[in-house]
Amino acid sequence: MSGTWMTTRAWLLMLPLLAVMVAVIGWPLIDTIGLSFTDAKLVGTSGSFVGVDNYVKMVSSTNFQRTLWTTAQFAVVSVAAEMVIGVLAALLLNQQFRGRTVLRALMILPWALPTVVNATLWRLIYNPEYGALNAALMQLGLMDAYRSWLGEPGTAMIALIVADCWKNFPLVALIALAALQSVPRDIVAASLVDGAGPLNRFRFVTLPYLAGPLMVALVLRTIEAFKVFDIIWVMTRGGPANSTRSLSILVYQEAFSFQRAGSGASLALMITLLVMLLAAAYAGIVRKTAGSAA
Amino acid sequence: MERQSPLFSAFIHVCALLLAAVILAPIAWLFVMSISPAADLAAKPLHWWPQTMDFSRYAMLLSTAENSAGAAFTASLVNSIEVAGMATIAGLALAIPSAWAVSRTPSVSWSLYMVIATYMLPPVALAVPLYMGLAHLGMLNNVIGLALVYLTILAPFTTWLMKSGFDSIPREIEAAAMMDGAGLFATLRIITLPLAAPVMATSALFAFLLAWDEFFYALLFTSDQRAKTLTVAIADLAGGRVSDYGLIAAAGVLAALPPVVIGLFMQRALISGLTSGGVKG
C-alpha cells in the first residue's frame, strides 16, 4: 500500500474528530483571543477594539497580582503535599502486611468521589456550628471554642488544601505503587548483598524507577491545580475577603458575574499561557534529567 | 526478602491503620450524616452515631412527587446520566477511528499531540465563546448542548487512551487478515475492534466518570431542571439555605455511588485492559 494513500486514509478517519475539535476548541479559542482585544460585554454589543488595554490593566491590577499569588500558593502547597504523602503511602503499600489488598482497593475511593461531593463533604466537616472537625477537636480537648475554618482568611486556604490533598494523594500513591512494583527484584536483592542501607536503596535503586511516572503525575497535578475552580467554588467561592480566590474564579467573576467578556478573555489567556510555560519548563527538566541519566 | 524486625512490622501496621482511617473517616462520616436525624447532627457534643438510623432523606431525594426536593434531584440525576452517556458515546465514536489511524500511520501523529495539548487549556479560556455559541444555537440549558461541550474534555482523553490500546495490538494480525482477502473495514470489525474491546471499556468508563464529575461548564450553561446536572444540584444544596445537613450528605452519597462502584470495578478493568494483549508470541 502506498504511503500517500495511507496518509490520506488516516486524515479521512480523523476528519470527524478534528472537525469537532475545531468547532468546540479551535474556534472558541480564536474567538477568545479576538475578544481579549475588545471591551465586549457578555451580552449585547460586540465591543470595540482596545488593543492590549485589557492585558495591561489586568497585569497592573492588585486584584490580579493577589489572585496569582493565591493560586500559586494553592498549587505549590497542595501538589507538594500530595506528592510527598502519595509516595509515602505507596512505599507503605509496597510492604508486606495483612489487609494490604483491601487498603489498596480503598485508595480508589477518594479519587472516585466527584470533586463537588468532596468539596461539599469537607464543607460540612468544617461547618462552624455543627462540623465534625470542631466537635472532634473540642471533645479531644484540643480547642476550647468552635471556629469558622472556612470563614477566616487565616485558615480557609489551609482547609481547602487539606480537602484537595485528601482527594488527590491516593492517585499519586497508586501511580507510585505501580512504578515501585516494576523495580526488578534481583536488583533489590543485589543491592542488599552489596550492603546498601535503606536510604541508599531508595536513592539509587527505587528512585530511578519512580522518577518518570512521578514526573508525569507532577505535571498533570500542577496543571490541574493552576486551573482549579470546582473545589474552591463549592467550599468558599473564593472568600473570605478573596483570600482563596483562584485565577479561574477571577475569570468567572470578570466574564460572567460582571459580564466583562473582553477583560475576562484576556485573563483566561494569561492563565493558559502560564500553564503552557509550566508544562514547557517541566518538559525541559524531564529532557535534562533523561539526558544526564543516559 | 529482607527479614522484618518485629518493631518494623509493628510500625508498618500502625501506618497502615492510620492510612485506612484517613481514607475512610471522611467517607464514613458522609454516610453517617446522611442517616442521622437532624437533632443528632445539631447535638453538642456531637453524636458520632445516630440514636436511630433515618433513611427518610434517601426516600425524599428519590421521590418524583411534583415540586418536591426529590423532583429537582431526580431530574438532575437523569440529566447527568443523559449528558454523561451521550458525551461518552460521542467521544468514543470520534476517538476510535482517529486513534486507529494515528496508531497505524505515525506520520500524522502530530495532529493527535495537538489534540492532547488542548488538555492544558483552562475551561475558562473557552467558556465565553462557547456560551455565546450555545446561546446563538438556542442550546443553553440543554442536555445535548452540554454533552457537545463535554467533548472538549472527553474526546482528547479517549483518543489518547484508545491510541495506546491500538498500539498494543500488533499490525501483523491485521496484515494477516488482509492477506487472507478481508477488506479494511472487515479486518477492523472482525479482528481489531474485538481485541480492543477491553481498552474501549476502560476508555468509556473513564469518559463517563469525567463527564459525571464535570461542574464548571454545567454551572455556566444550565439554569433549571431541564438540564442541570447532579454536580450543580449538589452545589446548589450546599450553598443554599438548606438547613438539614443530612439531606446534603444523602445527595452526596447518591451522586458518589456510581463513580465509586465504577472505580472499585475499574481496578480490574484497568488491569485486564493492560494484560489482555491479544497475540502471544
**B206 lies in the same domain as B111:** yes
Residue B281 within any structural domain of the chain:
no
Is A9 within the bounds of a domain? no
Q: Answer for the pair B131, B140: CB distance below 8 angstroms, yes or no.
A: yes
| pLDDT(B65) > 80 | no
Listed residue (A103, A14, A136) closest to B44, CA to CA: A136
Same domain for B141 and B48: no
One domain for residues B28 and B74: no
pLDDT number for residue B280 = 26
Q: Does A248 touch chain B (CB under 8 A)?
A: yes
Calculate mean pLDDT across residues B71-91. Answer: 95
Q: Is the ipTM of this complex over 0.85?
A: yes
Last residue of a domain, one of B13, B33, B54: B54
Asked if residue B7 and residue B117 are part of one domain, the reply reads: no
Q: Residue A156 belongs to what domain range?
A: 36-293
Q: Is residue A249 domain-resident?
A: yes
pLDDT at res. A217: 84
B17 and B91 belong to one structural domain: no
**In angstroms, what separates the C-alpha of A275 from chain B's closest C-alpha?**
7
Residue B59 belongs to some domain of the structure: no
Instruction: Judge whether B204 lies within some domain.
Output: yes
Query: Is the residue at A20 inside a domain?
Result: no
**Opening angle at CA B49, ends B45 and B52, nearest 5:** 110
B233-265 burial by CB neighbour count: b if 16+ within 10 A, else e? Answer: bbbbbbeeeeebbbbbbbbbbbbbebbbebbee
CA distance A90 to chain B (A): 11
Q: Is residue A26 part of a domain?
A: no
Q: Examine the pLDDT at A205 and tell me if it is beyond 90.
A: no
pTM of the model: 0.90
Chain B: nearest CA to A230, how far in angstroms? 6
How does residue A21 score in pLDDT terms, banded at 50, 70 and 90?
Answer: very high
d(CA B180, CA B173): 11
Regarding whether B164 and B40 lie in a shared domain, the answer is no
Number of structural domains, chain A? 1
Query: What CA–CA distance (Å, rounded) separates B5 from A110?
Result: 33
Of A234, A265, A271, the CB nearest to B235: A234
**Considering the domain boundaries, does residue A11 fall inside one?**
no
pLDDT digits (tens, 9 = 90+) for A64-77: 999 999 999 999 99
So what's the pLDDT on residue B267?
74
Measure the CA–CA gap between A192 and A185, rounded to whole angstroms.
11
> The CATH number of the domain where A166 resides is what?
1.10.3720.10
Provide the pLDDT confidence category of residue B210 given band limits of 50, 70 and 90.
very high
Per the structure, the complete domain to which residue B42 belongs is given by 1-54
CATH number assigned to the domain comprising residue B214: 1.10.3720.10
A229–chain B Cβ distance below 8 A for any pair: yes
Q: Is the pLDDT of residue A118 over 70?
A: yes
In a domain, A196, yes or no: yes
Does residue B252 carry a pLDDT above 70? yes
Q: Is the pLDDT of residue A223 over 50?
A: yes
Confirm whether B262 is domain-assigned.
yes
| Best-predicted range by mean pLDDT (A2-6, A165-169, A192-196, B102-106) | A165-169
- Per-residue pLDDT reduced to its tens digit, B7-55: 888 999 999 999 999 999 999 999 999 999 988 888 888 889 988 888 9
Helix (H, G, I), strand (E, B) or coil at A38: strand
pLDDT average, residue stretch A109-117:
93
**What are the CA-CA distances from residue A95 to residues A87, B5, B56 (Å)?**
13, 13, 43
Confidence bin at B272 (pLDDT 50/70/90): very low
Residue A223: CB atoms within 10 Å: 21
Q: Give percent above pLDDT 70 in chain A.
A: 97
Which residues does B208 contact at the CB level (< 8 Å), separation at least 6? Answer: B84, B85, B88, B262
Cβ partners under 8 Å of residue A269, min gap 6: A32, A33, A36, B125
Q: Domain check: are B105 and B226 in the same one?
A: yes
Tell me if B71 is assigned to some domain.
yes
Residues B200, B259 within the same domain: yes
The answer to whether position A91 is within a domain reads yes
In a domain? residue B144: yes
d(CA B177, CA B206): 31
Same structural domain, B256 and B125: yes
**pLDDT higher than 70, residue B237:** yes
In a domain, B280, yes or no: no
**pLDDT value of position B274:** 40
pLDDT at position B281 is 23
Query: Domain for residue B195, yes or no?
Result: yes
Q: Which DSSP symbol is given to B46?
A: P
Q: Which residues of B touch A234 (CB under 8 A)?
A: 215, 235, 238-239
Of the listed ranges A236-240, A271-275, B177-181, the one predicted with least confidence: B177-181
Q: No. of H helices and E strands in chain B?
A: 14, 0
Using DSSP, how many helices (H) and how many strands (E) does chain A show?
15, 0
**Cβ pair A113:B259 closer than 8 A:** yes
pLDDT one-digit tens code per residue, A175-187: 888 888 888 888 8
Residue B141 amino acid letter: N
Q: Are residues B131 and B261 in the same domain?
A: yes
- Do B126 and B260 lie in a common domain? yes
What's the confidence (pLDDT) of residue B275?
37
Is A119 in contact with B107 (Cβ distance < 8 A)?
A: no
B184 and B130 housed in the same domain: yes
**Gyration radius (Cα) of chain A, Å:** 24
Alpha-carbon span B32 to B25, nearest angstrom:
10
pLDDT > 60? residue A220: yes
Domains identified in chain B, total number: 2
Cα dist. B246→A123, A236, B27, B38, B64 in Å? 13, 20, 14, 7, 19
Report if residue A103 sits inside a domain: yes
